[in-house]
Amino acid sequence: MRILLLEDEFMLARSIRTYLLARGHLVDHYDNGQEVLETIETMQHDFYILDINTPLVGGLECLKIINQKYPLIPKIIISAYHDVDYISDAFDRGCSDYLKKPFNLKELEIRLQHLTAQVSNITELSHDPLIYLSQQYTFNKETNLLYFGNVIQKFTKREYSLIILFVSNLGQIMTDESIRSFIWNGEETESSTIRSLVNRVRAKLKEDLIQNIRGFGYMMTRIESV
Amino acid sequence: MDGIDNQSLSAIEAGARIIQNSYEDMTYLMKHDRLHEEMSSINLVDFITNRVQYFACIAEVNELSISMRIGQPHIPNINISELKLSRIIDNNLSNAIKYSHRPSEINITIGIFEENIFFEVRNHGPIIVDKKKIFERFHRESLYKGGYGIGLSIVAQICEEENIDIKISSTPKRGTSFRYIFKNATRLQHNSSTITHTKSAGGKA
């Protein structure tokens, strides 16, 4: 993720930055609100972390403008103000969460993860019924059908249940046990039966959407277009 | 702040949450026949995600992790009292944590099978000796673990009232799973607009 951080306290900004960087997030740090306003004109971040009391333009002012421009992106206010008025003001202006200073960096990360997960759920539900799996493959969530180009792909009922299962858990490993739970009602099923179902589906797919993660299970991932 | 051991703090937090679960059980036992039941339309995935977040810190202290898998992109809401649903889920999560080998993973699956919505909690721990007795009040599978043997008796009572099927399997190879199948909830979902309306309309006419 690419995160925008507005914080004028140098030490805190540095530790947030180092912490999030170690967890794979890029942090663009600004120590005044003016520069933030200039930046958001031309660039959208995946997450905003804003302090309230900042030079030139305050964090709440920035929050309001960011929220108008990017209403769906999560925004956290971090502040030493514990006053309820500030908190209510911040939520009025569209923040997703309010974290009181001092806070544990882990807590920031937990909230960050939670909020981004929420947002991705909302956006996936509310928009397009199509899930794009590759340049050719799409899955329609409303009809539960898989398309290659514009052509509906034929599978047996059980094979389709498996595809629905993988599509619902993109990028997550499905173990034999979880496949058994969904497709065989949790009943005793030989691993070889599960394997052969997965292999049948893999053989019918024209692209390598489902991978075998040896020792763990199977995973479906999007194939990004080059 | 740095002086305080973070691990001890987490352990205290976890302990408090376990006690809260026991407390909720007792409150439910005392009050359920006096409380008037409020049914609401609940999204099972969101509800369970929320409960899992609550229990995550207890799991972490016990070197356990909780994973969740969902069977369909869209799972219809169920009609049930929130209080009852949280008793079922909380007791299952707390038992799964209590009776797991460490470290290991607790797996939750939520989906639809043959028109019925279900959720399942699977963990790896000692296998259940008596699958019938565990639902009796004050029965405890292990006397070494804390607890009063109340949680599952409440769960059984609720499931009977709400027409929820319980399927248990416990084998050394696959671990232990509790599967809850909501029979009423989905049917109510399909018919809710017709059944409830004719009844209330009849009263007016």
Residue B68, judged by CB atoms within 10 A of its CB (0-12, 13-18, 19+), counts as middle
Q: Do B69 and A169 touch (CB under 8 A)?
A: yes
- Total of domains in chain A: 2
Range of the domain at B103: 6-204
B181: nearest CA partner in chain A: A185
* CA distances in angstroms from A201 to A9, A186, A220, B61, B201, listed in the order given: 55, 20, 12, 40, 50
B148 and chain A in contact, CB less than 8 A: no
- Rounded to the nearest 5°, which phi and psi values hold at A108? -60, -45
Query: What mean pLDDT value characterizes chain A?
Result: 90
The complex's ipTM?
A: 0.77
With bands split at pLDDT 50, 70 and 90, how would you rate the model's confidence at A117? Answer: confident
A38-61: average pLDDT: 92
Same domain, A118 and A136: no
Q: Do A168 and B73 touch (CB under 8 A)?
A: yes
A184: nearest CA partner in chain B: B113
Of A144, A177, A186, the CB nearest to B179: A186
Dig out the tokens for A142 from the structure. 């409303």
> Does the pLDDT at position A124 exceed 80?
no
Query: Which residue, of A107, A126, A145, is where some domain finishes?
Result: A126
Q: How far is CA B147 from the centre of its chain?
A: 16
pLDDT digits (tens, 9 = 90+) for A153-175: 999 999 999 999 999 988 888 99
A113 and chain B in contact, CB less than 8 A: no
Q: Do B72 and A164 touch (CB under 8 A)?
A: yes
Containing H/E element for B167? strand B164-171
Distance from CA of B122 to the nearest CA of A (A): 9
DSSP 3-state assignment of B128?
Answer: coil
Q: How many helices and strands in chain B, by DSSP H and E?
A: 5, 7
Same domain, A115 and A142: no
Rounded CA-CA distance B82/B40 in Å is 7
Give B179's contacts in chain A (Cβ within 8 Å).
181, 186
Same domain, A142 and A100: no
CB pairs under 8 A between A and B: 50
The strand pair at A137-140 and A151-152 is best described as: unpaired
Query: Which residue, of A126, A143, A169, is where some domain finishes?
Result: A126
Q: Do A186 and B72 touch (CB under 8 A)?
A: no
Distance from CA of B179 to the nearest CA of A (A): 8
Does any domain span residue B1? no
A77-104: average pLDDT: 92
Dig out the tokens for A224 from the structure. 């990004």
Distance from CA of B110 to the nearest CA of A (A): 8
Q: Which residues of chain B are modeled with pLDDT < 70?
A: 1-5, 184-205
Does any domain span residue A118? yes
With bands split at pLDDT 50, 70 and 90, how would you rate the model's confidence at A225? Answer: low
> Does the pLDDT at position A212 exceed 70?
yes
Range of the domain at A142: 130-220
- Total of domains in chain B: 1
Q: Do B69 and A186 touch (CB under 8 A)?
A: no
Q: Do A181 and B114 touch (CB under 8 A)?
A: no
A1 Cβ neighbours under 8 A, 6+ residues apart: A24, A25, A26, A46, A47, A116
Query: What mean pLDDT value characterizes chain B?
Result: 83
Q: Do A177 and B174 touch (CB under 8 A)?
A: yes
Q: What angle do CA A180, A185, A191 make, to 5 degrees?
A: 25
With bands split at pLDDT 50, 70 and 90, how would you rate the model's confidence at A72? Answer: confident
Same domain, A171 and A204: yes
Tell me the Cα Rg of chain A.
Answer: 23
pLDDT digits (tens, 9 = 90+) for B55-79: 988 998 899 999 999 988 888 889 8
CATH number, domain of A174, equals: 1.10.10.10
Query: Which residue, of A75, A101, A126, is where some domain finishes?
Result: A126
